[in-house]
């Protein structure tokens, strides 16, 4: 790991409550919700404050996500400005249910499947920055 590299990873299971469409399909916007949580942790690690998410400049939905899938959401701060923090995100499916075998079967995927990528900018105003990372 590079020195001074600020990263965050969360992993969670998509539940039936997360499914928004037929067949247990999870709304793609749910990945953005996960990225928001990752961004919050990144800002706390960087600045000691939750900051605010200003904008996404790129979002790609690459594969479907279903109830029962385990998703790993990763983020990294790639540029630190005066008050802005440029971030990149990736969500990967790491476990998938196997209802074809039985109702509780699941497989750890040999290779994670990238389901979403995004980049965006968050802001922490100078008066709320409690760490010197810029």
Q: Which domain holds residue 41?
A: 6-128
Report pTM: 0.91
Answer whether residue 133 is part of any domain: no
Answer whether residue 36 is part of any domain: yes
For the chain, the domain total comes to: 1
What local confidence, expressed as pLDDT, does residue 1 receive?
42
The dihedrals phi and psi of 39, each to the nearest 5 degrees, come to: -60, -40
Contact (Cβ atoms closer than 8 angstroms) between residue 80 and residue 133: yes
Contact (Cβ atoms closer than 8 angstroms) between residue 40 and residue 50: yes
CATH number of the CATH domain containing 112: 3.10.129.10
Q: Per-residue pLDDT tens for 47-80?
A: 999 999 999 999 999 999 999 999 999 999 999 9
Answer whether residue 1 is part of any domain: no
Q: What is the largest CA-CA distance in the chain?
A: 56
Answer whether residue 80 is part of any domain: yes
Give percent of the chain with pLDDT exceeding 70: 96
Strand 70-80 to 19-21 pairing: unpaired
């Amino acid at each position: 790991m590079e020195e001074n590299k600020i990263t965050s990873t969360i992993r969670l299971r998509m539940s039936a409550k997360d499914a928004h469409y037929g067949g247990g399909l999870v709304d793609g916007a749910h990945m953005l919700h996960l990225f928001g949580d990752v961004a919050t942790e990144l800002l706390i690690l960087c600045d000691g404050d939750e900051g605010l998410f200003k904008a996404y400049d790129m979002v790609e939905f690459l594969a479907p996500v279903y109830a029962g899938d385990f998703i790993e959401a990763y983020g990294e701060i790639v540029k630190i400005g005066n008050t802005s923090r440029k971030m990149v995100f990736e969500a990967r499916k790491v476990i998938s249910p196997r209802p074809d075998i039985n109702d509780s079967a699941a497989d750890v995927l040999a290779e994670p499947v990238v389901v979403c990528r995004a980049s965006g900018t968050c802001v922490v105003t100078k008066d709320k920055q409690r760490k010197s990372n810029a």
